[in-house]
């Protein structure tokens, strides 16, 4: 069966614009990382020693199946479509994931896997769901999932992640490195809210929406570009040892990235 690529992303900038109940509203520029992706495919259970009636994920995951974003995406899609074909597909096939995107890294690996799975099911089963419909289903799995559903190279992402607006610009060649530090996004946001909360206003938001990613990286320090960098350093002091000049911080971490110097 066909193999699908689930690309990583980086946050060129990530600024908090306000609160919505327990969530933080953001403005962020997401950019696809073209050289870093997981590979997903359906595998017939006839070739595996797998139970026919259980949802089976093959891959190097540290979480239980029920916590996996792909399983959550399956459940959300089943709820939304009530599709018998979907249940039959997952009874007869496993979903195999060849992981390359590190976990807990701020690179969106789990969200990208979930989005790719939703798109795979939509294509294979001819569910005829629009990208907007898939994005609304994906949002139930995670705030970053809609970006990966739309498949843009670059986008301004706002709200709690549900507003995705394509940004026309050159796709930069990004290189990433990820220290082996497992960062808790809820903890980083908690520290931000308690000690660093300083949302930007609408004028600053509009300016950021128009800046080219390359210019943002040249003119903003890691702390200026990402409101979560200082809270992450507070929570994980060892992170400072991994910071290198010229790199920026993606999401709530722990990955650093820069534009590749290899041309």
Burial of residue 246 (CB within 10 Å: 0-12, 13-18, 19+) is: exposed
Out of 9, 15, 45, 72, which one is annotated catalytic? 9
**pTM (2 d.p.):** 0.93
C-beta separation of 146 from 37 below 8 A: no
Between CA 30 and CA 154 the distance in angstroms is 6
**Residue 9 appears among annotated catalytic residues:** yes
Between CA 206 and CA 210 the distance in angstroms is 7
**Residue 144 appears among annotated catalytic residues:** yes
Q: Give Cα separations from 13 to 9, 65, 228 (angstroms).
A: 12, 32, 10
Residue 209 neighbours by CB under 8 Å, 6+ apart? 27, 156, 165, 167
Tell me the pLDDT tens digit for each residue of 8-23: 999 999 999 999 888 8
pLDDT tens digit at each of 263 positions of the chain: 799 999 999 999 999 999 988 889 999 999 999 999 999 999 998 877 656 678 899 988 877 777 899 999 999 999 999 999 999 999 999 999 999 999 888 999 999 999 999 999 999 999 999 999 999 999 999 989 999 999 999 999 999 888 999 999 999 999 999 999 989 989 999 999 999 999 999 999 999 999 999 999 999 999 999 999 999 999 999 999 999 999 999 998 789 999 997 64
- Write down the pLDDT at residue 154: 98
Q: What residue ranges define each of the domains in the chain, with the CATH number in brackets?
A: 4-166 (3.30.230.10), 174-259 (3.30.70.890)
Out of 38, 113, 144, 227, which one is annotated catalytic? 144
């Amino acid at each position: 069966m066909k193999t699908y690529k689930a690309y990583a992303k980086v946050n060129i900038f990530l600024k908090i614009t306000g609160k919505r109940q327990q969530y933080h509203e953001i403005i962020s520029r997401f950019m696809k990382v073209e050289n870093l992706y997981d590979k997903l495919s359906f595998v017939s259970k006839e070739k595996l020693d797998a139970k026919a009636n259980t949802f089976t994920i093959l891959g190097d995951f540290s979480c239980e199946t029920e916590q996996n974003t792909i399983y959550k995406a399956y459940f959300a899609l089943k709820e939304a479509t009530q599709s018998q074909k979907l249940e039959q597909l997952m009874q007869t096939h496993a979903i195999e994931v060849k992981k390359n995107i590190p976990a807990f890294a701020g690179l969106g690996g789990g969200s990208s896997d979930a989005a790719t799975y939703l798109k795979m099911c939509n294509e294979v089963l001819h569910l005829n769901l629009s990208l907007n419909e898939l994005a609304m289903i994906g949002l139930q799995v995670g705030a970053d999932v809609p970006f990966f559903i739309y498949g843009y190279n670059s986008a301004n992402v706002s709200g709690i992640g549900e507003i995705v607006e394509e940004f026309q610009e050159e796709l930069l060649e990004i290189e990433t490195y990820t220290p082996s530090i497992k960062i808790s996004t809820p903890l980083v946001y908690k520290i931000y809210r308690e000690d660093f909360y300083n949302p930007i206003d609408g004028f600053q938001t509009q300016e950021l929406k128009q800046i080219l990613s390359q210019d943002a990286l040249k003119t903003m320090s890691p702390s200026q570009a990402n409101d979560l960098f200082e809270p992450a350093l507070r929570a994980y002091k060892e992170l400072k040892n991994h910071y290198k000049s010229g790199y920026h911080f993606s999401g709530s971490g722990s990955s650093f990235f820069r534009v590749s110097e290899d041309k």
